Structure 1
């Protein structure tokens, strides 16, 4: 099931919240198992990712009742945000090749025409793809507008590390175009309806708005660092609008 991957990711993330010695001991023993569960679902060499292109995160190897042999932008970005954090912190320096494969795979998926549109007409909001990097064309809850924001956040973290370590050309020529596509999409379309995390309701989504706000804040700072001054004001302005929307929505829920 798709939840196998999510359970592994949650298990791996528990390390940040360990409080007691018993929990510490459990996390110490479980973290390698959980991490391997994550890696098993990443193509092309994961034990549960047969047929997936390099850097593609497989939601589940299950193909019936239900079929989850797809890759979700949301899931993939959350998985790699964690792996990128481990890499950039020095916890696991072996992950760099896998991270580079992920960024390359996502650059390809951005350009794949799909039922949500093309790269310039809304296609970045497509929630999932086939694991061979082709479009999923059956009916689904689309668009899901959190994916581009989450992907931008993950790749910005990696790009910042690369800049810190002198890899400016790669960041400017390879990663910035990917990041900017996602940030421009968020800035332009954040106020449009979206299907939620559970892919059931087409409306506004607190989670989606929150991750969009984060992406634009971090995107503005990153663009400024790269000297891309032409987009900084636009990202900052829309981030302000997103924050206002979040605050108004929160007050409405509270009442």
Structure 2
């Protein structure tokens, strides 16, 4: 397949590589990229093992119902030992990817058990009394609903749960297994997937009072619509048409300006149909401006390198959720910090961008996949992802522990330790990195 790279795309490639927006002429002057840094590769591989174990430890933890997923083990400062429907869906979608990719029967058995338990737990919490039904954001780890003050409903949760369980059901079908317990086609339904799809069908455009991905703003949200779009095909055209309203002419507006939820939505729910995909000009323009907003915002971004195994490695800027963020990991009313999962998500973006262009494309003339020019541009693009991987490495504990946030001045971990989403975001980026390496370097 042949695609065109626009000026916006060229600028985005340069931004990924440099960590700041640069003019498009500088990209053409870059020398061919070296192979991925060995020290960083070793760290990524070691951390990926640690992160996978961190994710698995947070699914069905001791003292909780099987299939529940704690956002983090901490019970105070902050108290994150709850099952968030959206976070759990993102996590189990990642685990489903591991299940599909592994050839290790022991690992497959572990992943399969986690997913089966999650499906059962999900059906249970669909049927309990809760503040907003299938739009309820979080539950206790025993499956009872959290009824305290919270930003409900959150309409992305049911859709994300459907995303993860449809992926799992497809795997089971490929193994010749019956999946009617997950999707029964009945009305009223007794199955978890159909219940979520019915909720999406009836509520995707219900009102403008749904809460955003960060549980702070009510309205219609880009992230929510992107998550809803893949799994309700009969309304996909209406959802798609309505999403053009989020484009300002220069950036995608999630609800508020410059929000990391935009590229997370692309990572979590793209249909790879050219509509707000990672190589979309609108997405790339938004990413470039997101990087620019945060590059000078945090004191820790004055560091442009980190040392990994005695090797100096360039780093990209640490990134936060949005510039106006006032949650510091412990309380509101303070300046927000950079987040691990946002920075890992930015690492994932150029890697996936490069993979998308692994077929032939044109920049004035056509370069075939495998040509020197192709590999040079592709490698430089994906090495931009390495800068953000290295930034995450700089602020990850020596033993592999990841945090929700990093202090904007000191760089030390802040907020919830062992955040499930932080670990999952790293594994996702590492998976993309491995795929990108095979394309460019053959290994």
Q: Which residue of 2 aligns with 1:190?
A: 204
Answering whether residue 126 of structure 2 is matched by residue 79 of structure 1, we say no
CA distance in 2, matches of 1:52, 1:251: 44
User: How far does residue 80 in structure 1 lie from its aligned partner after superposition?
Assistant: 0.6
Question: TM-score, normalization: structure 2?
Answer: 0.44
Structure 2 unmatched runs, 5+ = 1-34, 185-190, 253-443
State the number of aligned residues: 206
- Residue-by-residue CA offset, 1:1-56 (whole Å, 9 max, x unaligned): xxxxxxxxxxxxxxxxx95444322221111101111112121xxxxx33210011
* CA RMSD, Structure 1 to Structure 2 (Å): 1.9
1:62-77 → structure 2 map (5 Å cutoff): 62-77=74-89
CA distance in 2: counterparts of 1:34 and 1:69, whole angstroms = 18
> In structure 2, the residue corresponding to 1:135 is in which secondary structure?
coil
State how 1:130-145 maps to structure 2 within 5 Å.
Answer: 130-145=140-155
d(CA) in 2 for partners of 1:50, 1:143: 29
**Rounded Cα–Cα distance in structure 1 between residues aligned with 2:237 and 2:195:** 20
Deviation at 1:251, TM superposition (A): 4.7
Note if contact 1:150-1:215 (Cα within 8 Å) is conserved in structure 2.
no
Structure with the largest fraction of helix: 1
1:20, 1:209 → 2: CA distance? 38
**2:72 aligned partner:** 60
Aligned-pair distance for 1:254?
4.6
Q: Residue deviations 1:190-225, cap 9 Å, x none? A: 113310111111111100110100222xxxxxxxxx
Give the CA deviation at 1:252: 6.2
Cα gap change, 1:173/1:62 in structure 2, threshold over 3 Å: closer, same or farther?
closer
Tell me, in whole angstroms, the C-alpha distance in 2 between the residues paired with 1:188 and 1:253.
32
Q: Structure 1: any 5+ residue segments left out of the alignment?
A: 1-17, 44-48, 117-122, 217-235
Q: Does 1:214 align with 2:224?
A: no
Match of 1:23 among 23, 40, 63: 40
Larger radius of gyration: 2
Counterpart among 143, 153, 156 of residue 146 in structure 1: 156
Q: Secondary structure of 1:80's partner?
A: helix
Match of residue 126 from structure 1? 136
Query: Alignment partner of 2:247: what SS?
Result: helix
Judged with a 3 Å threshold, the aligned counterparts in structure 2 of structure 1 residues 189 and 25 are, in CA distance, closer, same or farther, namely same
Matched, 1:33 2:50: yes
Q: Helix, strand or coil for the counterpart of 2:130? A: coil
Higher relative CO (Cα under 8 Å, sequence separation at least 6) belongs to: 2
Using the size of structure 1 for normalisation, the TM-score is: 0.75
Aligned to 2:181: 173
Q: 1:115 aligns with which of 121, 131, 155?
A: 131
Once the two structures are overlaid, the 10-residue window that deviates more, 207-216 or 143-152, is: 207-216
Matches of 1:137 and 1:237 in 2, distance apart?
33
2: CA distance between counterparts of 1:203 and 1:252?
Answer: 20
